[in-house]
Structures are given as structure tokens and as C-alpha cells.
Structure 1
Amino acid sequence: MKDVFGKALLDFQEGNYSEDIITFSSLDEEDTIPVPYLFRNFKEMPKLEQEALKLCKGSILDVGCGAGSHSLYLQEKGLTVTALDYSKGATETCTLRGIKNVIHSDIYSFKNQKFDTLLLLMNGIGIVGKLNQMSQFFDHVKTLMNPGAQILLDSSDIIYMFEEDEDGGVWVPDTGTYYGEIEFHMKYKDEKSDSFFWLYLDYKTLEMAAEANGFACQLVRNGEHYDYLAKLWIK
């Protein structure tokens, strides 16, 4: 898979920032990811992320660490954190930023280590891709969790992106799949990524999926726009 995301991170880290990442989705939406935002400090983070970082305990696995802003903050607080990302450019950026424990791997290939906190921020649960793959995800993360470990994740209910009916209901296309399964590709400078699915979960769906796979699920905090922070642990 072309590492468009990682290329943008490395360019910024090495002082070659000139433009942002453009995303294209199956919702016919074009959006921008401002690259400098991925390098934000704690004060610049949304309240949900700040809350999640305060709840981190013990040894931490930062899943989908990106530019490593969360890992860097936790490391500076004296916590033991491992930054994990499938993007080679992202992990190289994390190393350049001074993060000590950096792993280049996808979550399913990463094995034989256990943690007290699994952190999935910036809609990190999106890596699952599709709702019917949640059981595979939960089965695997169980193998990465110490007794009493927690998962902290944020996501969004993207129902607001669909049109409202005259009676106040929401018109969601009948595709036979969950409405939060969105297909994306990215463009950075003149390079396009391959397409991939990214999952957005409303809290109730997350809670049901968690309970079906032996996890308890708690709503920690609602965000400002259909987003939320949740805490999960093995029952």
C-alpha cells in the first residue's frame, strides 16, 4: 500500500511541508487533513484526547500512533509507551521525534507483548474497516492485554452526514452494510493512496459489539460533535 500518509508526516518533520493531505470518501466528500495538526501538543488536543491521555495507566500501546503526538506526551510524563503504526513514514517520524519504543506493524501482525492500556485515538477503531470484522479485532486485542487492562478509544456517529427526511428522520442509503463503513483514498502532492475502508462507530453499536465479544464498555465522555470517548475492558 502506498504510504501517502507517512510521506506527508516525514515531509513536515524534515521541514519540507508545503501542502496538506486531501481525502476522498464514498460519501462523495472531499476533505483536508492539515498536516501540522498531526503534530499538536497536549494543549492543542481536543478534550476527548486529553481525557484519554489522563486515563492511561501502566504500559501503553498507542495503536495507529501517526506522528506520535500522544505517545510523545505520555513518554514525557514518564509512562512506558510503545508507538505502533502500519505506516513506515509514521514510525520513522516517531523515531525522529524521540519516541523510544516504535514498532512498524499492523495490529494483527503484532504479537507476544501485553499492555495495561491500549490507546486508539483519532477514531483509531477505524482500522477495523468493517463492522463484521469487530470480532476478529476483539479476539486479537485480548492477546495483547494484561489482566485488568483497558482499551481507550474515540469514535464518531456519522449519522449527521446523511440527509434528513421531512419527518425528522435520516435517510441512509440501503447498501446492506453499516452506514459507518466508509471507503477512502488519500492524495498528497501528486501521489494517491490505494483505497481502504475506515469504520466510524456510534456508541450503541460499539457497546453491543463489545458485549458480544466478552468486553464491558463505558461511555467516558461525549465530544462536541457526535464524537465520544469510551473505555472497554474484558469482563
Structure 2
Amino acid sequence: MKTPYDSALSDFFSGNEEHKLLLHNTYGPAEEMPLWYFFRSYEEMPDLEKMALSVCEGRVLDVGAGTGCHALVLQHWGHEVVALDTSQEAMRIAKESGIENAVCHDFFSYTAAPFDTLLCLMNGIGFIGRLSSLRVFLKKASELLGEEGQIIVDSSDISYLYEASVKPLDSYYGEVSFQYEYRGKRGDWFDWVYIDADTLTVEADALGWHTYILHEENDQYLARLIRKK
């Protein structure tokens, strides 16, 4: 049975744009998630994402690839790319869109190494759910990357959500939960984490990684992580 997220992607891909995909959250009112955003061309991508694609090297694992818009650009540029996502529908669409290697699989149990670049866009590192899971993510990244491999990731500082209130004391303030709704049906809640640049730098350093901030725009940033030698 398709999730609301899968159904929304399927409808949009087949030309049905009648219904809205809503994203409920734990910090405010539900928001509409524009479906076209999952199907962007290179020209429609923000500068941050264009920069992220330009610094990818060698064999690329696009983690949380969705419908494959980033992987498609990299593939066109001549990279060997694996688009990885847990959504079967997203991977079906990616294949039909021309992605040669679209794999429906969980990141933490994926083993087809080595890669030169792990790419995590659209606040992509957020799928780890909790700041405490960064250690597990980086350990798995080490297993998947070659000796000179890199992680290219973007995230955001969402401290602006707490300008009128106190940040939580019992958890990292970037940890939130989301729930998709489509055609009146709601999916399961899932955890997500936005990691501010300073926290990522400090936490990654303690875990054996250098963090280089490549671009900052408003509350969002792009970073490259490379293992210490």
C-alpha cells in the first residue's frame, strides 16, 4: 500500500496536480510541500545545490535521492551515480526518468562500496532523526567511502523558530518530527534533525572528521566532511 508521500509523487509524475501534499510538524501549522520541487531541473535548483553538485567527485552515492533530480544531473555530467532511497515509488520514478542505478534500500544496511562522494541534499542529513545518530551515520559513511572520500551535505539552523520561546532543555533544538498528508490520508510520523553549522563542526571533529563550510545562505549552509588522517 502506497504511503501519502508515494501517492503524491505518483500522481504528480503522471500529470495529476489536483491535490496538495501537506507536511505536519511538531513546531507549528502544517505547510504545503510543493510537489514540483521533487522534480526540479538543474536550472530550477538554488545556487547552494548547484554548488553541491559541482564539488561531487568520482563515484557518487546520492543518499535520500527521492525522484533523482540531483542524480540525473550528475549522471548527465558523466559521474557513476547510485540513487538510494527507501521509497519504492520514488525509485520507480527515478528509473523511468532515466536514472541508470536507482536502489530502494536503507542507507545503514547498504554495502555497495566504495564511493568517492556521499551526497545528502535537501537538508539531507536530517534523515538520521537525532543528533545522537550522527556517530552512527559517520561510521557507516566511513565504510562506504574510499580512502579520499568526502561527504557533501546541507542543513539549516532552525533557531529562528524559538525567537519567541525557549529552546528545549531535554533535547537538541534541531530535532523535530514530520507527518505527510495527501488526499486526506496521513502517514506515520518520522523524526528529522536540522544540525546548525557550529554543532556539526564540533560533533564531527570529535568523531574524527574535518568540516568545511562551502556556502551559507540565510539559515542554510553547505558543508564538506573529510576524515582526519
TM category, shorter:
over 0.9
2: distance between equivalents of 1:160 and 1:120?
23
Q: Unaligned stretches of 5+ in structure 1? A: 165-170
Q: TM-score, normalised by structure 2?
A: 0.95
The Cα offsets for residues 29-83 of structure 1, whole Å up to 9 and x where unpaired, read as: 3111110121111111011000000001100000000111000111111111110
In structure 1, the partner of 2:117 is 117
2: distance between equivalents of 1:27 and 1:66?
24
Cα offset for 1:6? 2.2
Asked if structure 2 preserves the Cα contact closer than 8 Å seen for 1:10 and 1:92, the reply is: no
Call closer, same or farther: CA 1:221–1:173 in 2, change over 3 Å.
closer
Structure 1 segments, 4+ long, off by >2 Å, are 1-4, 171-175
- Summarize the alignment of residues 82-101 of structure 1 with structure 2, pairs less than 5 Å apart: 82-101=82-101
In structure 2, the partner of 1:130 is 130
SS in 2 for 1:19: coil
Question: 1:198 pairs with 181, 185, 192, which one?
Answer: 192
Identical aligned residues as a percent: 39
SS in 2 for 1:143: helix
Is the deviation greater in 11-20 or in 35-44?
11-20
1: distance between equivalents of 2:144 and 2:126?
18
2: distance between equivalents of 1:112 and 1:94?
19
1: distance between equivalents of 2:2 and 2:171?
27
Q: Unaligned stretches of 5+ in structure 2? A: none
Asked if structure 2 preserves the Cα contact closer than 8 Å seen for 1:172 and 1:179, the reply is: no
When the two structures are aligned, how many residues end up with a matched partner? Answer: 228
SS in 2 for 1:53: helix
Q: Residue type of the partner of 1:201?
A: I
User: CA RMSD, aligned part only?
Assistant: 1.4
In structure 1, the partner of 2:21 is 21
2: distance between equivalents of 1:2 and 1:217?
38
The Cα offsets for residues 113-152 of structure 1, whole Å up to 9 and x where unpaired, read as: 2100100000000011001111111111110001111100
Q: Residue type of the partner of 2:113?
A: Q
